[in-house]
Amino acid sequence: MITVTDMARQQLQGLMQQQDLDQLGLRVFVSPGGCSGFQYGMRFEDSAMAGDAILEQQGIKVYVDEFSAQYLEGAEIDFEDALMGGGFTIHNPNAVTSCSCGQSFTSAEDGGSARPCGH
């Protein structure tokens, strides 16, 4: 389903340790919106919800709801270290188009609900 690169895992574990969030999992989700129709989101959560897929990769628990799972199959969470604009990214093989901001996409099956994002 979703893979987490070594660089992303290191950054997530560092954040979790800095903020004393060692017991939390990472929720990765897709919601309608963004300039291409769907947008990605990530946040730390205490536990999974009913119906979530739960993945554990090298000490990182990842929670994905049923709606998001259909759009994130085969996706990879990465961390890109760049002078300007670095951060977490999601490489998604299901995205047929993406916004230049990298936070919004369109899938072949569903165009979503596009809104201007200012990028």
Domain spans of the chain, in order of start: 3-107
Bigger pLDDT: 54 or 102? 54
The residues with which 44 forms a beta bridge, in sequence order, are 26
Q: What is the mean pLDDT of the chain?
A: 84
What average pLDDT does the segment 65-77 reach? 94
Q: How confident is the model at residue 97 (pLDDT cuts 50, 70, 90)?
A: low
- The pTM is what? 0.80
Q: How confident is the model at residue 3 (pLDDT cuts 50, 70, 90)?
A: very high
Domain 3-107 has CATH 2.60.300.12: yes
4 pLDDT higher than 70: yes
